[in-house]
Each structure stands twice: as C-alpha cells, then as structure tokens.
Amino acid sequence: MKAVLTVCDAPTDLIRDAILNPLAQFNAENGYPADPQPVAITLNSDDGAVIGGLWGKTVYDWLFVDYLVVPASLQGQDFGAQLMASAEEIAIERGCVGSWLTTFTFQARGFYEKLGYEVFGTLDKSPRDNVRVFLRKCLKPA
C-alpha cells in the first residue's frame, strides 16, 4: 500500500472519525471501549438564554471538564462550585472514578483546588508566558 501525507487546513468531522475509528476499535478489542458521553449543564438567564455553564464528557471512567464559564457578574455566588458538583454527581452515576481538567495560570487554579482538585502536571509556555495546569480529583460515591 502506498500512502501520502496531507495537511488538512480545514479538517472535518469525517476526517476526525476516519482517524479515530481504527484507534477506538483497537482499544475496544483490547478491553477498553471508550463510550464517551457528553456532560452539559447550563447556567441560564431569566429569559432562558445560556449565559454560562459546564461542558465536558465522561470517558474511560473519568469525567473530563472541557469548559466551565460563569459570567463575571455572577462570580462569587457559588455557581461554579454548583456546576462542578453537578457534573461530578453525573460522573459518579456513570461509574467514573475521577475528574480532570486543565486551566491556566491566569484562570482558576485556586478555585479548583478549593474543590479538592490537585495538580498532576504543568505545561510551560502554554500560551507564551503562561502555564497550563492539569488538575484531578478522585470521586467517591455518595
């Protein structure tokens, strides 16, 4: 078989799936099916508009939090902690053993540490003079 490397300037979901599907099949055949399930919890205004929330997924027995956003005008009112607690509850119901996420030095490391998350890695110069911080928390069923 002959192959050619191609850089995709505008990759599509079809390309992603063509790359991912053989890996997912290999993992499943070796006893580790992914079975990713989305987690979305919204923070809504009085008129129902989504103004923030949490977006993530449960996969491989862990919750991964992609995004957590609370508008500046609502910060300090416990919404972030409530969003995280709700997501962790969902993860426990789905059989997850832990939760992990990334943040930056200019974002919310202290917030997550107050919720019981611990640093397990960092990535310097991500972006520029900032550091990306990787945090995790073990989850225990209620």
pLDDT surpasses 80 at 141: no
Domain assignment of residue 30, yes or no: no
What domain count does the chain have? 1
Domain of 127 in residue numbering reads as 36-138
Domain assignment of residue 119, yes or no: yes
Q: What integer pLDDT is reported at residue 142 of this predicted model?
A: 66
Q: Average of pLDDT values for 29-55? A: 96
Domain assignment of residue 114, yes or no: yes
CA dist 115 → 11, 50, 73, 84, 100 (Å)? 37, 24, 21, 8, 12
- Can you give the CATH number for the domain in which 73 is found? 3.40.630.30
Domain assignment of residue 104, yes or no: yes
Domain assignment of residue 5, yes or no: no
Task: Examine residue 127 and say whether the peptide bond preceding it is cis (omega within 30 degrees of 0).
Answer: yes
Q: What integer pLDDT is reported at residue 37 of this predicted model?
A: 97
CA distance 94 to 20: 23
The helix (H) or strand (E) run that includes residue 26 is helix 13-29
Domain assignment of residue 130, yes or no: yes
34 confidence band (pLDDT: 50, 70, 90): confident
* Angle made by CA atoms 89, 90, 93, in degrees to the nearest 5: 90
| Beta carbons of 116 and 69 less than 8 angstroms apart | no
Domain assignment of residue 18, yes or no: no
Domain assignment of residue 26, yes or no: no
